[in-house]
Structures are given as C-alpha cells and as structure tokens.
Amino acid sequence: MLRCINYSASVLVTAGTLFLLTGIAASAQQPNGEQPKPPEQAQQAEQKPAEKSEGDKKAAEEKAAQEAAAREIAEYKEAAEKLSSSAGAPECVWTGRRIASLLWRDDIDTARRYIDLYDRFNCSSEHLKLVFRCVIAQGPLDPKAADRLASRVHGCWIAPEGETTTSSQATVGTTATKPGTVPN
C-alpha cells in the first residue's frame, strides 16, 4: 500500500512540475514579456479584427448602394429632361431598359411580359423599337459584361438615333466572331 501512495505522489509531483514548466515556457515566448491570455480572451481578440473588417465591408457595400441609387436617380432625371413625357417617364425608362436588355440576351418570354407592363403605362412603343435598333446597331458585346450592356442600353435610351459610343466601338473592334455564327 505504501508503494501505491509513493507512486501516486510521484505521478502528481511530475504532473505538477510539467504544468508549471509549461506555464513558464509559454510566458517566456510572449513578445515584450506580456502574460499569455486565457483562451477565451485570445478568441475575443481574434474576433475583433474580423468584426471590424465585416463592418468595413458593410459600410463599403452601403456606400456603393447609395452611389448606385444616386446614379439611377440622375439617369431618370436625364431621361425626363431629354425625352418626351412618355419615353422619359421613370416607369417607361425602367421597364423599357429592361426590355431592351432582355431582348439582347434572347429572353423573349420575359421581355414579352415586360412589354405588357410597358404598354399599360402608355409608354412609347416607337421609342422602344428605336432603342433596340440602336443597341443592335452597335454590334456584339461580351456576354459577361453586364455593366457595358446596361450603359449601352441607357445611352441608346437617351439618344436612340445618336452615334455609337466610343466604348461600344472599342468592344466591336475587340470582339471576334467566327464565320457562320450569330453574334450575342
């Protein structure tokens, strides 16, 4: 029995010594002699920078959304100033631009549903025809460049009988089509 007690005591002393040595070694590894933080505090410290970056991302997204909204409002005002009442009305601009984009992407069924809405607003069907003609006349676009299509449609909405834009001319020059294929 005495052996069991001695053996147990020696195991406890050894475990205690290892525990103390581990603590001393960990504190010696900390820069500037700082004490190690408990695991809970260390996790909180690691989460704070991530929370800040998420907050920065949210602020940047909110700022981008506000800029996009301001740009949309400016485009509607521009259309109202430069076009007749039916083609320059915000509801006509909104639906008409979507119709032209959908037709460009060969989504005829969805475009047809928007055309019904467009007609209910008493928007100019002649203006829509001219806009789509303008979009087509400027040549093919990269199908992945949705922002270019949107800017082209808006430019054509404001001036459907105007000159092609320089960005669309550059796009036409860089786009190669194979013989016998239909451009996008």
Indicate the burial class of 117 (C-beta count within 10 angstroms; 0-12, 13-18, 19 or more). middle
**CB-based contact 99:115 (threshold 8 Å):** yes
- State the chain's mean pLDDT as an integer: 75
Task: Supply angle C-alpha 16, 17, 21, rounded to 5.
Answer: 120
pLDDT above 70 (res 151): yes
pTM over 0.85: no
> Burial letters for 132-145: b for 16+ Cβ neighbours within 10 Å, e otherwise?
bebbeebbbbeeee
Return the pLDDT at 137: 95
